[in-house]
Amino acid sequence: MSREGLAFVPDEREGDGEHAFRLGPAQFLHVLAGDGLTIKSQDKVYRFKAAAAGEGDDQLARLVENIARLR
């Protein structure tokens, strides 16, 4: 998350990086529901879950707050 938008770079364990993305603020919508965050771009949908219950919930909520500030 930066002023330029939202980016995701998967771990090396995730494969060849086909799921990596970089989106500007106007290029995506987000939905936080329970322990999951969904990012929707024009052509793809990305779903993220908190790594650990409790701790991850706060991280996702902070990320969503930052997204709101970006816009």
Domains of the chain, residue spans: 6-70
CA 46 to chain centre: 7
Tokens 């908190």: give the residue.
50
Question: Comparing C-alpha atoms, which of 6, 51, 9, 43 is closest to residue 24?
Answer: 6
And the tokens for 65? 């707050």
- 49-65 confidence digits (pLDDT tens): 877 655 556 888 888 88
Residue 36, pLDDT > 80, answer yes
* Average of per-residue pLDDT across 21-31: 94
pTM of the full structure:
0.76
| CA atoms in the 13 A half-sphere facing the CB of 56 | 12
Mean predicted lDDT score pLDDT of the chain: 84
Which residues is 2 bridged to in the sheet?
5
